[in-house]
A and B are shown apart, each in its own frame.
Chain A
Amino acid sequence: MSNNPEFRKNVWLELSGYRVIGMPLVIGSVLFLAYVSNARKFGAEISQTAGSLYFLITVLWGTKLAAESIMNEIREHTWDGQRMSVLTPWQLVLGKLFGSTIYTWYGSSICLAFYALSVPDTPYARILETVFSLVFAGILGHAVCLLASLLSIQKERKFVKSQTTAILLLGIVAVTPFVSLVFSREKPATWFGNSYGGPEFVLLSTAAFAAWTILGVYQLMRRELQMKNSPVSWFAFVLFMMIYLAGFLYGAKPGAGFEGINPAILVAFYVPLGATYLMAFIERKDPVTLRGVEQLVRERKAGAFLQKAPRWLLTAPLVAVMAVVMVAGNASNGTILKTAAFVFAVLLFMVRDLSVMLFLNLADNNRRAELLNVLYLVMAYAIVPIIVEAVHGDMATVLFWPITTQPLFLVVVAPLVEMAAALFLLSGRWRRKVAAVRG
């Protein structure tokens, strides 16, 4: 790592003499205070204080530094210099992930050492598990910030202070459940019907999510450096999430309204669906990007298409595949028509929503397109259906939700008409936009 120029630069920036001396002094003072206030006992009070300090330093402060590491390069106009360098994506990712947060890791390691030495009545193996879980949780939080920063600048290359704050909050939100699980995880976890020790499961889960996030940062960094990216990692991540979440619902009974559908398969169906919506929000949807993709389709360049197509566009077919799996899985239990109507309606609603999102993004004044997208989804799935249901009764809800308690014909036809209307609007705006750019 010390040969990594990016890491070395961050060390120069973060580790000055005064700061190196200051950190142990502050941590030592706080821990000494805890020691004195606990009748000079080196035990639970110290370990709790050290754990809290770890949270403060790594999660709150470290995520701040990670969130700022790329956004500050944009603000100070040094990012182009890095993109013009010959540093590899891994050098940049690891240099930023561990370099920009080096000072907080310096403090965190002191806290973790005190935690490990002072935690009472706990086997060494358990202490090590906790320490590693906390370290992975910290890395996860920092990596989430880098991921969010890269996604943000790839959508719009500008520095907005509120955006950095949002990225910081996202990092904290991502890491807090893992940290709280580390400190409260004596209960075993049941996954695919097998029981696993709580601490071990939390440790492996945290490590896995940290690794996936770092891989995501690496992929985005490659894109930032104009390198080609295959979608394999993305599909592998979606598959991992499908399996990981399905494991918790394996063997569970179907919920009301989903009779005959295996909950594990249902959740595996929702994962690519959720990923499609999420990426549709996050990724660029401007005419230049979309026209580039259209051009690749016209020229039948499959390889380049897979590299450059927005991930939501590539994930949507996976939703269709999972829909077929769900219907096929129900072929023998008498609810096949109901299941087919449900998944087909979900697919139609998805295409409708994606069309509307693109339609809003292709507007001449699209500065608030993402906000409008959120508003649209809230209106389409929450506010309007509730009002309509209250006024016209249950049957009208087929216009908004894939509800199979209504006549199955209507469950499919209603979203089909809506999808056709949305596609019609989108195609009109798309043609106008393309004509405008070509002049």
Chain B
Amino acid sequence: MIEVRSLVFDYPGKRALKEVSFSLRQGSITALVGPNGAGKTTLLRCLAALEEPVSGTILLDGRDILADPRATHRQIGYLSDFFGLYEELTAQQCLDYAALSHGVDPETQPDWILSCARQLEIDGKLNQKAGSLSRGQRQRLAIAQAIIHRPRLLLLDEPASGLDPESRHSLSLLFRRLQEAGMTLLVSSHILSELEEYCTDMLVLQEGRIIDNTPLVAREEQALFELRVAEALPDLENALLQLAGVEIVRVNQGSALISCSSDPARQHELLREMIAGGLRVCAFGQSKQNMQDVYLRTVQGDRQKGVR
């Protein structure tokens, strides 16, 4: 669907994206996560052909979007983190303008607008001015504008920021519906627990580099384990690093959260190795894996590599 190769983007005095390469599967919902300043918004803007990178290629279904940005805008929808609406227009006029300016056929336009408004649950607000809508309704209207032309790829930058829990939940349901309708979504957010509800893939960006791009389903072959030792051990981290197939998520002198194979036989083997190695294990149990842990594990693992 989307293939990015060796993307480099510079701001004056700073390289924001460093040889970024990854691909997105058709019909996936990918979480784009990373610390502040990692380059997430820059990457989304490059994908939306709003910024021109120094070098690299972005292919949308094999077509280079940098070679002809205007042609690909028909297939891409983008919601910026600081989206704007024409406050003095009604929601209906906002959607009319979005549809017309995205080349929606005037004959099908009323149906598309109505169906989009229903999908976003703003069909009852179409005659209200955008400026009079609540934060959640404005967010929905902005998303409706971004998908009015039924894009194949939807890029969303912090779409849930400022929304209450109920609105966030319905946003999650909406993203799933869009995915079921065949759309591919790339969602940048800091709220990992929420991304977990609907994301199928995770793309971790750190200091302008992609450090992980694995489908989340594959992670189920791994499991997280909470480990406790009977007495504080200053060298616990080093001891765990000696064990094959173990990744440390977090560690202190008395406990650790580690990632290892979800195979019970391998877990048994691992426990035996730890005890044989002199670790006074008093608790070893599976911990619920969540995106937060996966993210932290990835980011910290990358930092450890950097230190070494």
Cβ–Cβ < 8 Å partners of A227 in chain B: 69-70
Given contacts A9-B86, A227-B70, are A84 and B100 in contact (CB under 8 A)? no
Task: Check if A8 is an interface residue, CB within 8 A of chain B.
Answer: yes
Most buried by B among A8, A81, A287, A292: A81
- Docked Cα-Cα span, A87 to B99, in Å, equals 11
B residues 1-30 touching A (CB-CB < 8 Å): 10-15
B residues 51-80 touching A (CB-CB < 8 Å): 52, 54, 69-70, 73-74, 76-78, 80
Closest beta carbon of chain A to B20's beta carbon, Å: 15
Task: Check if A77 is an interface residue, CB within 8 A of chain B.
Answer: yes
B residues 240-297 touching A (CB-CB < 8 Å): none
Closest beta carbon of chain B to A83's beta carbon, Å: 6
- Docked Cα-Cα span, A438 to B10, in Å, equals 9
Q: Which of A78, A84, A288 contacts B73 (CB 8 A)?
A: A84
Q: Contact between B97 and A288 (Cβ–Cβ < 8 Å)? A: no
Q: Which of A78, A295, A436 contacts B13 (CB 8 A)?
A: A436
Closest beta carbon of chain A to B264's beta carbon, Å: 46
A residues 279-296 touching B (CB-CB < 8 Å): 286-288, 291-292, 295
Cβ–Cβ < 8 Å partners of A287 in chain B: 10, 12-13
Given contacts A81-B145, A83-B50, are A12 and B103 in contact (CB under 8 A)? no
User: Quick one: closest A residue to B151, CB to CB?
Assistant: A84
Q: Contact between B86 and A80 (Cβ–Cβ < 8 Å)? A: no
Task: Check if A225 is an interface residue, CB within 8 A of chain B.
Answer: yes
Closest beta carbon of chain B to A159's beta carbon, Å: 11
Q: Which of B54, B86, B101 contacts A288 (CB 8 A)?
A: B54
- Docked Cα-Cα span, A79 to B101, in Å, equals 13
Stretch at the interface among B31-39, B87-95, B115-123: B87-95
Q: Contact between A226 and B86 (Cβ–Cβ < 8 Å)? A: no
Closest beta carbon of chain B to A14's beta carbon, Å: 9
Q: Which of A6, A12, A80, A364 contacts B80 (CB 8 A)?
A: A80
Closest beta carbon of chain A to B203's beta carbon, Å: 21
Task: Check if B85 is an interface residue, CB within 8 A of chain A.
Answer: yes
Mask: chain B, 95-129; 1 = CB below 8 Å from A; 0 = not: 00110111100000000000000000000000000
Closest beta carbon of chain A to B231's beta carbon, Å: 45
Q: Which of B84, B86, B87, B103 contacts A86 (CB 8 A)?
A: B103
Most buried by B among A77, A83, A226: A226
Q: Is the interface of A mostly helix, strand, loop or mixed?
A: helix
Given contacts A12-B93, A81-B145, are A364 and B13 in contact (CB under 8 A)? yes
Given contacts A8-B97, A81-B145, A292-B54, are A76 and B87 in contact (CB under 8 A)? yes
Q: Contact between B69 and A226 (Cβ–Cβ < 8 Å)? A: yes
Q: Which of B54, B84, B88, B100 contacts A77 (CB 8 A)?
A: B84
Task: Check if B49 is an interface residue, CB within 8 A of chain A.
Answer: yes
- Docked Cα-Cα span, A433 to B12, in Å, equals 9
Given contacts A292-B54, A436-B13, are A84 and B88 in contact (CB under 8 A)? no
Chain A residue total in the interface (Cβ 8 A): 34
Cβ–Cβ < 8 Å partners of A433 in chain B: 13
Cβ–Cβ < 8 Å partners of A166 in chain B: none
Q: Contact between B73 and A86 (Cβ–Cβ < 8 Å)? A: yes
Given contacts A226-B69, A226-B70, A437-B15, are A8 and B100 in contact (CB under 8 A)? yes
Q: Contact between B13 and A437 (Cβ–Cβ < 8 Å)? A: yes
- Docked Cα-Cα span, A5 to B109, in Å, equals 13
- Docked Cα-Cα span, A5 to B100, in Å, equals 6
Given contacts A9-B86, A12-B93, A82-B101, are A226 and B48 in contact (CB under 8 A)? no
Cβ–Cβ < 8 Å partners of B80 in chain A: 77, 80
Q: Contact between A87 and B101 (Cβ–Cβ < 8 Å)? A: yes
Cβ–Cβ < 8 Å partners of B54 in chain A: 288, 291-292, 295
Q: Contact between B97 and A77 (Cβ–Cβ < 8 Å)? A: no
Given contacts A12-B89, A81-B98, A225-B69, are A437 and B10 in contact (CB under 8 A)? yes
User: Quick one: closest A residue to B69, CB to CB?
Assistant: A226
Cβ–Cβ < 8 Å partners of A123 in chain B: none
Given contacts A5-B100, A225-B69, A226-B69, are A84 and B78 in contact (CB under 8 A)? yes
Most buried by A among B76, B77, B103: B103
Q: Contact between A288 and B10 (Cβ–Cβ < 8 Å)? A: yes
User: Quick one: closest A residue to B74, CB to CB?
Assistant: A86
Q: Contact between A84 and B86 (Cβ–Cβ < 8 Å)? A: no
- Docked Cα-Cα span, A71 to B152, in Å, equals 31
Mask: chain B, 40-54; 1 = CB below 8 Å from A; 0 = not: 000000001110101
Q: Which residues of A contact B (CB under 8 A)?
A: 5-6, 8-9, 12-13, 73, 76-87, 225-227, 286-288, 291-292, 295, 364, 433, 436-439
The 23 listed contacts between A and B (C-beta, < 8 Å) are A5-B100, A8-B100, A9-B89, A9-B97, A9-B101, A76-B87, A78-B85, A80-B50, A80-B78, A81-B83, A84-B50, A84-B73, A85-B101, A86-B70, A226-B70, A286-B12, A287-B12, A291-B10, A291-B54, A292-B54, A436-B13, A437-B13, A439-B15
Given contacts A73-B84, A80-B78, A81-B145, 13 further A-B contacts (CB under 8 A): A5-B100, A76-B85, A76-B86, A77-B83, A225-B69, A226-B49, A226-B50, A226-B52, A226-B70, A288-B10, A291-B10, A364-B13, A436-B13
Nearest 5 A/B pairs, CB to CB: A77-B84, A5-B100, A85-B101, A78-B84, A286-B12
